[in-house]
Amino acid sequence: MASSTAGQVIKCKAAVAWGAGEPLKIEEVEVAPPQAMEVRIKVHYTALCHTDLYFWEAKGQTPLFPRILGHEAAGVVESVGEGVTDLKEGDSVLPVFTGECGECRHCKSEESNMCDLLRINTDRGVMINDGKSRFSINGKPIYHFLGTSTFSEYTVVHVGCVAKINPEAPLNKVCILSCGVSTGMGATLNVAKPKKDSTVAIFGLGGVGLAAAEGARIAGASRIIGIDLNSDRFEKAKLFGVTEFINPLEHQKPIQQGWGVAVLVGVPHSDAVFATSPVNFLNERTLKGTFFGNYKPRSDLPGLVELYLAKKLELEKFITHEVSFADINKAFDYMIKGESLRCVINMIGN
């Protein structure tokens, strides 16, 4: 049975970023029906990720406003567009900022998750199907963000960027799997691949870094060394299995020992560069990069949800705050002050 709103424009509330660094404003927006290979989702919970903050500040990124930010969320399918066969109204889903078309060389590879069609595009503010936005206010288009725009009560996402999950999963917890936790955990489990009883060092103990620590804990690392310029983060990190702490400000010279694999994670400043001597690689050191922890969104995220339901993955300890949708700007304040790991925003008000 089709949703009563299927095929119709939905009016709802969304938090719109009108300019760089300006507080988000709750507006009534119109959300168009999903087109071919698209899904319209009722967002139940969304979380604030540092990537949202970076693009809201627009200091090192291309500014694109007005825009509806948000990309770490969970919700329920409201309706589907033409050609969508594997999702239906009422399915519990995680919208994801990158996708899996299932047909390209990357999707068919066991090594890559960089889908040719749906890989992340931070500058695109429209849907790939027709180059138009599904959001508008009084006829004026509002730009999308990362193909997800979850700071809206309803959003439209390409079907390849939607992971169907177990309906028993609590959406206010598993919402954080659609970005940061999976990125950090996968960087450890899928890319660094530490053996049991090995040593893992993690630079930066924010949400993604602590997710990397959680991955090291799951892998059975015996030493997990946390490195951060903020010593206040060290106590919290113990909950994630971190056994030792280093604040570089308390040391006069670099600490270098042994060999191993270094994995780069996260969104760098657009002008960021680094340099090193080739000798460092000849001394049995390896440098790798990862995108979304090397997870394929539709194939792998349902399994992470099952890992949580089986109590093998702990998500509650990542969530330090929860706010109502009306108070979404508080989530930004918590993150800017360094007070939160993940702040979950309740979009349904119960």
Tell me the catalytic residues.
49-51, 71-72, 101, 104, 107, 115, 119, 179, 342
- In one-letter notation, the amino acid at residue 13 is K
Backbone angles phi, psi at 47, to 5 degrees: -120, 155
Q: For tokens 């015996």, what's the residue?
A: 222
Who contacts 24 (Cβ-Cβ below 8 Å, separation ≥6)?
A: 15, 16, 17, 56, 69, 151, 328, 329, 332
Asked if residue 120 lies in contact with residue 318, where contact means CB atoms within 8 angstroms, the answer is: no
Q: Helix/strand/coil (H, E, C) string of the chain?
A: CCCCCCCCCEEEEEEEECCCCCCCEEEEEEECCCCCCEEEEEEEEEECCHHHHHHHHCCCCCCCCCECCCCEEEEEEEEECCCCCCCCCCCEEEECCCCCCCCCHHHHCCCCCCCCCCCCCCCCCCCCCCCCCCEEECCEEEECCCCCCCCECEEEEEHHHEEECCCCCCHHHHHHHHCHHHHHHHHHHHHHCCCCCCEEEEECCCHHHHHHHHHHHHHCCCEEEEECCCCCHHHHHHHHCCCEEECHHHCCCCCCCCCEEEEECCCCCCCCCCCCCCHHHHCCEEEEECCHHHCCHHHHHHHHHHHHHCCCCCCHHHEEEEEEHHHHHHHHHHHHCCCCCEEEEECCCC
Distance CA 339, CA 137 (A): 34
